[in-house]
Structure 1
Amino acid sequence: MAGDFLTVFTASFVTFFVLIDAVGVAPIFASLTARGTPAYRANMAWRSIVVASIIIFGFAFCGAWLLEQLHITIDAFRAAGGVLLFLIALDMVFEKRTERRETRADEYLEEHEKPDDVSVFPIGIPMLAGPGSIATAMLFMSQSETWEQKGAVLSAIAVNMVLCLIVFLVASPLVKALGESVAGAITRIFGVILAALSTQLIIDGIIGAFNIG
């Protein structure tokens, strides 16, 4: 039983770690909160994590019910989720995702001269709780057959949120230490890993839908 928990936790943790991409969001968070005080930055870090956690956990618990109401099978959702994650992986590999995040951050800074609440938008949504993380939470919980597996998925989400909080709290020195080139390389590596994970989801979805093998 412990091995089953560890297996599901590891797969879920890696997937959410890549999707949430705390290291990639850290420079955006640092730039959006640069005009505020240390207390303001800490407050935004905590609030953004709370907002993102509520959204992701909410979809994780209500995902199965939502799929049932929409008459969508788990295999169809698995394949669709795989396609969505693959598109996100392509964006990460070619740094399109980072460019969109930076553009969104620049637009926000242009509209708000003084420090404002960035915890809900754009940090909480869609940078942390984006389409990929929401869909994956629904997918993993829907395909978990036991409460042990569901607990592993929820634990993986929680650990990622804690790690994200830690990264945000040390965002400014972390961004300076890593540099843009290192952060870009890490994002590309995450993109390749996510591409492999998404391809496997597509394959599993097709196999399940057509009863292959």
Structure 2
Amino acid sequence: MESTFVSATILLILITDPLGNIPLFIAALKQVKPERRRLVIYRECLIAFCVLLAFMFGGQTFLKVMHLTDESLSVAGGVILFLIAIKMIFPGEGGALGSDKVSGEPFIVPIAIPLIAGPSAMATVLLMATREPDRMLEWVGALTITMLVTTVVFLFSTRLQKLLGEQAITALERLMGLVLAAISIEMLLGGIAAYIRQFG
């Protein structure tokens, strides 16, 4: 499946799922003083951005060291995205924060990692960079826009939750999950097809 700048941006926004993470984000910041929340948001989003950039630029080296192929990464990425999509469509108890109660000011965990830069986001940027390294500037641009969207959503998270309501946010998350499920199947089939072609 050939990605474009727009499709890559949409995919990353779907995976980071800022709207669906609003309730978890608000819970994580409950113990933070109101005057420090904006600073924490900027800091955590910047950390997540740097982590994903590291995975993007270190992708080729990582694959060589681990002796992995693009096809295996594509299949694994498709499986991970499908599991994330299923969780978005059929949300259960808990979430990215687990059952642990967040106390004090969060630093890196749980907002930057895994709320924003989770395993699925890391696998996706790594896959994008290794499959088409000559378009790295586009992938960095897509990631930058995704992080800007995430930052804006988190800055206005309380207002958005009041404006949309929990039911609307849940409906949007399930719709995004459905789209992500289709993308994950396409990625999975693409990886399997590429692997089979090696023996053709």
Q: Is the 8 A contact 2:31 2:105 kept in 1?
A: no
Which runs of structure 1 show a deviation greater than 2 angstroms over 4 or more consecutive aligned residues?
Answer: 34-39, 101-104
TM-score, structure 1 normalization: 0.87
2:115 counterpart (98, 122, 127): 127
- Alignment of 1:11 onto 2:4: no
Alignment partner, residue 29 of structure 1: 25
1:70-97 per-position Cα deviation (integer Å, ceiling 9, x unaligned): 111101111111111111111111013x
How many angstroms apart in 1 are the aligned matches of 2:172 and 2:97? 17
Give the number of equivalent residue pairs: 198
1:172 offset after TM fit, Å?
Answer: 1.1
Q: Is the 8 A contact 2:81 2:180 kept in 1?
A: yes
Q: Percent identity, aligned pairs only?
A: 28
* Higher-helix-fraction structure: 1
How many angstroms apart in 2 are the aligned matches of 1:64 and 1:130? 19
Alignment partner, residue 188 of structure 2: 202
Q: Is the 8 A contact 1:45 1:119 kept in 2?
A: no
Alignment partner, residue 159 of structure 2: 173
Alignment partner, residue 141 of structure 1: 129
1:124-178 per-position Cα deviation (integer Å, ceiling 9, x unaligned): 11010100000000001111152xx221111111101011111111111111111
1:28 offset after TM fit, Å?
Answer: 1.7
1:157 counterpart (135, 143, 146): 143
How many angstroms apart in 2 are the aligned matches of 1:159 and 1:58? 17
Alignment partner, residue 101 of structure 2: 108
How many angstroms apart in 1 are the aligned matches of 2:51 and 2:24? 20
Gaps of 5+ in 1: none
Give, as a single letter, the amino acid of the residue that structure 2 aligns with 1:19. I
In 2 relative to 1, CA 102–178 (structure 1 residues): closer, same or farther, beyond 3 Å? farther
